[in-house]
Chains A and B, each alone.
Chain A
Amino acid sequence: MTNHGQLSRRSLLAAAGFAGLSALTGCGSGDDGGDSKDLSKKQDGAMKNYRAGEQFKATKALSISLLHNNNPVYPTKKDWLFWQELTKRTGVTLKPVDVPLSDYEKKRSLLIGSGDAPFLIPKTYHPSEVAFVSSGAILPVSEYVHLMPNFRDKVKKWNLEPELDSIRQSDGKYYLLPGLHEKPKSGYSMAFRTDVLEKIGASLPTTWDEVYDTLKTLKDEYPDRYPLTDRWSTNTVYPAAALVSYLGQAHGIHAGWTYENVTFDRKARKFVYTGTTDQFRQVVEYLRKLVAEKLLDPESFTQTDDDAVKKLLGEKSFAISANPQELVQNYRFNLEKQVKGAKIEMIPVPVGPAGPVVLDGIRLENGVMVSSKALKSDNFVAMMQFLDWLWYSDEGQAFCKWGVEGVTYTKSGDSYALKSGISLMGSDPKAPKDLQKDFGFFNGVFTYGGSWELVSSSFSPDEKKFQDAMAERKQLPIAPPHPLESAEQEQVTLWETPLKDHMNQNMLKFVLGKRPMSQWEAYVAEAKAKNSDRLADLHTKAYERYRKDNG
């Protein structure tokens, strides 16, 4: 789980470190000068006419270093079929630098900062690449995507240009090759105890008004309990981060753990501060109503995940935020053990004033950074072609996810099936082998994104139902590019945290009824005193500048 779209304290720290370091060593990004564009001498091992849909095979054996996130669930093994088959198909041997998942970001910063980074640096979430841009240690990959036919093909086919624009820096380039999704994949929504709803004659809600009615019906039946108690309030600065996020989505704004300080106002063609928009106020008022009528447990905003789940399992509540995995592996699994006849289902995100929409920008996933050192290598072109094949071609993606046809899986039509004796995430507890642990496929370092057919091929029935319903919805329009210059970025960093804290604290006060709604205007004025307007103006200025410079 990540907090999308916000610079974490750690990455800011890394950024500061880098600024200091580059000042000390006087290193700049310009040392390659004019010949960085001339790739004619860097063709070693590259294919002459590499095209989309074509199998990449290096014309001579190559080895490429890679930062590898060692996931304890499937610890790296040297004898994984993945490594062997990859070399067989592409002629490339990957040389992984194993980094424990627990401290991946730390080591990544260290390696990049010390100039010792491997060529390929995957598992990087935007905007953490921003911290490395000014040091020049990371390649502006947008300059080299002409070497990547599959990547360009998918961007064009799935119309992902606006998304890519959103990760461009003030120089107009982007430094991260993100994972690309054909359709937005949703994560979180509410889950209800359907057996209880059935008993009291209520049905699953589809809109937020119906959610209110359903909770009310539950409350009438069980007046001593809170029908909804929620989680995802710890390990994040946002209270009830998931609930507020998908409630915000129904109002067309980024709230909760997808919170963004500025929202683009399409009518006025300018950015506004999210925390004081009308939509945000509606979110707050809705939650306030739920708390006031004792439909939503006020502890939802502070308790740990464990405590929330405990209440659900102890039948002290009947609804909770969920994702498909938690639904199956935690709630349903444990409920069936503890409560006889318990059933729980996850609903598609209830529809609100913004209509059936999903958030913008979620078709990009974490992705790969390329070390600037790679450009000096004779194999550079071959490496980019390899990267393109492995992460962006249909064959490469299917290979990373499911493995080798006939060995690890069989395919009939659009559906993939694992060979018998192979299990995936507990799909067959008796199977002697595991697709991740023993073969090295379905590895988070290589497997994400892709066509809807491929992405949905691994959904459980519950997830498929949920995702299919969500995939029907329209994506909110993406904000136009508005990259900040580094001095502006520093200014924004100083403003953002106090504003975010102010928003969070007051949201809680309003929702819990500790501050009357009549004080909303006062709250808006406080935010202004904390530079909310200046922050929005700065983004508007950046947007106008970018539009002028880049058409």
Chain B
Amino acid sequence: MAKTKSKTKAENQTQMVKIYIMGSMYEVPSSLTIMKAIEYAGFKLTRGSGCRAGFCGACATVYRKEGDFRIYTALACQTQVEEGMYLTQMPFVPANKAKYDIDTLDPIASTILRYYPEVARCLSCNACSRVCPQEIQVMDYVQHCLHGEIDKAAAVSFDCVQCGLCAIRCPAEIPQYHVATLVRRLHGKYNMKPPETLEKRVREIEDGVFEEGFKELMSLPEDKLRHKYYHERDFVDQKKA
């Protein structure tokens, strides 16, 4: 960023806000995301940052605002800073992940209770749904699990990015995001139609349809390989497609 040269000038022009990171006050430009503000303040993020695009779920943040008793949560890379935020990062949430062989299970409620019996402790307090930065109705899918409605649970939990904020807020100590993974796996394995094109392609690979082509590629010298990769490849125009 070309900010360093005209820093004072930029700072004069940009509206600044006061935020608190781990208890210390910093002034940062109001246009920044929480993640960029933390870096602007001089911290280097080694954990708690990943894709920076709202998909990986590594940058869960917990904050309060001045004069407001509520706890707020967000993904740091997706949320703009506000005046008076008290921030801390949640780079990791400890939670036990069950081990299972997906091929031997049934898509029913007792499967979920077998690996995550704590699901039965749900109090329907909805704290999980309130903290979810993806706005998933977490409590609803936990309840769907308890009722054995695997399809609904899989659909409701689909947007989960595994940030773990639900699990850290839950008074019943349920690791919701791991439960959701199990549910979606069960749904994919047992309730959904297998994709025809994928099966066809796997069969083609097994039948050796691409063997010749691969051999040819492997035998090419590097410069020809480069040429093929950069100039001869078919690029699909995303806008037209």
A and B from one complex = no
Q: Taking beta carbons and an 8 Å cutoff, which residues of B are in contact with A?
A: none
Q: Taking beta carbons and an 8 Å cutoff, which residues of A are in contact with B?
A: none
